[in-house]
Amino acid sequence: MSELTAFAERGGYDVVGVFKETASGVAANRAARNRVLDLAQARQLDAILVSELSRWGRSTQDLLDTLNRLAGWKVSVVAMNGMTFELDTPHGRMMATMLAGIAQFERDLLSERVKSGLAAARARGKKLGRQPGQRPKSDKLAPKVLQAIEDGRSYRWIARDLGISKNTVTDIVKRHRHNAL
């Protein structure tokens, strides 16, 4: 984030806001991106600075659609490498299309490599994911949960107090009851 803010200052941009997306890049509903688009539509900004173009769109088509909407609102997208993507020029459309396609290709390659690696690990007999019985946090908190239950506390209160989910509290109680039998 600080790199992007420094880039904005060097470029003479007034920073209206800094948004950090926590959702996956392929997720359809990305809160920070939607907030930026709302600001763009309301004409409260002239440019959107992004660390890289591939971070802005979910896919090539999504990126181009979004860039077209932004162009309609007279908002440009500027990547940290200094490239400006304005779709109202043929050159801008071509560059955005090429770079979006390359970014999509890179994402697809990465996905294929991960799938291939997981398949190879399964073929070697490796068990993937969390293994049964591995509950380090809930096992460590079990005595506190059971004591709170004895003290008459509700599952929700215990969960909130210990920073765990109500389902985890329920699972701890179930395991304790099962082991007590």
Any bridge partners for residue 145, and if so which? none
131 vs 140, higher pLDDT: 140
Residue 166 confidence (pLDDT) = 92
How far apart CA 58 and CA 48 sit, in angstroms, is 16
pTM over 0.85: no
pLDDT higher than 80, residue 150: yes
- What's the Cα-to-Cα distance from 28 to each of 31, 43, 60, 144, 148, rounded to whole Å? 10, 23, 14, 40, 41
What backbone torsions phi and psi does residue 164 show, to the nearest 5 degrees? -125, 170
pLDDT higher than 80, residue 34: yes
Domain ranges of the chain: 2-123, 136-180
Residue 12's SS3 state is coil
CA end-to-end span of the chain? 54
The CATH number of the structural domain formed by 2-123 is 3.40.50.1390
129 vs 133, higher pLDDT: 129
